[in-house]
C-alpha cells in the first residue's frame, strides 16, 4: 500500500521560491534556501522544492518546463471564511504573487481566488464558510 507523503515542484530560482512559500504563504521551512531539495511543511503535508538543474544532473535526464502562468495543476489552500479569502489574496499579491482571479463567490458556494507564484504555478485560496 502506498501512502502520500507530500508533493514537489521543480524550480529555477530556489531562494525566490523558498521565500515566497515561506513568507507569503506561511509554509514552514525545513532546509536552507540554497539547498538542492528544500523541504517545506504546511499542515502536516510535506511540500518539496527541487532545483531543476540538480534534479537533471541526478537523473541524467533533461526535462521540458512550461513558462508563463502554468495550468498543469494547482496548489489549493483553504482559509477560515470569505473575508479571509479577500485578506489572503491582498496579502499574497502584495508579497509578489501574480493575480490570476480576484476573490469571487462561485455558484457552488465557495469564495475563491487564484494567484501564480514567482515561477507561474497556480495557487488557489478559498473557503466555503461565509
18 and 46 co-located in one domain: yes
Model's pTM, two decimal places?
0.90
51 and 80 co-located in one domain: no
Is residue 64 included in any domain, yes or no? no
Q: What is the DSSP letter of 6?
A: E
Q: Are strands 111-116 and 45-51 parallel, antiparallel or unpaired?
A: unpaired
End-to-end CA distance of the chain: 38
75 and 122 co-located in one domain: yes
Q: What is the mean pLDDT of each run of 10 residues along the chain (130 residues)?
A: 88 93 87 81 86 94 94 94 98 96 98 97 97
Is residue 1 included in any domain, yes or no? no
| Cα dihedral 108/86/49/28 (nearest 10) | -110
* pLDDT for the residue 41: 80
50 and 74 co-located in one domain: no
Give the CATH number of the domain where residue 29 resides.
3.10.180.10
82 and 123 co-located in one domain: yes
Q: How far is CA 25 from CA 9, 62, 88, in A?
A: 15, 30, 9
Is residue 91 included in any domain, yes or no? yes
Is residue 65 included in any domain, yes or no? no
109: containing domain: 70-127
54 and 11 co-located in one domain: yes
55 and 11 co-located in one domain: yes
Domains of the chain: total: 2
Amino acid at each position: 500500500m502506498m501512502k502520500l507523503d507530500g508533493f514537489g515542484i521543480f524550480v529555477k530560482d530556489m531562494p525566490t521560491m523558498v521565500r515566497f512559500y515561506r513568507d507569503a504563504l506561511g509554509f514552514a521551512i525545513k532546509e536552507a534556501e540554497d539547498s538542492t531539495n528544500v523541504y517545506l511543511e504546511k499542515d502536516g503535508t510535506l511540500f518539496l522544492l527541487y532545483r531543476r538543474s540538480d534534479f537533471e544532473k541526478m537523473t541524467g535526464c533533461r526535462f521540458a518546463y512550461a513558462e508563463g502562468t502554468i495550468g498543469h495543476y494547482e496548489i489549493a489552500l483553504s482559509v477560515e471564511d470569505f473575508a479571509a479569502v479577500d485578506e489572503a489574496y491582498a496579502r499574497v499579491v502584495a508579497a509578489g504573487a501574480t493575480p490570476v482571479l480576484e476573490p469571487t463567490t462561485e455558484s457552488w458556494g465557495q469564495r475563491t481566488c487564484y494567484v501564480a507564484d514567482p515561477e507561474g504555478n497556480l495557487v488557489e485560496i478559498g473557503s466555503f464558510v461565509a
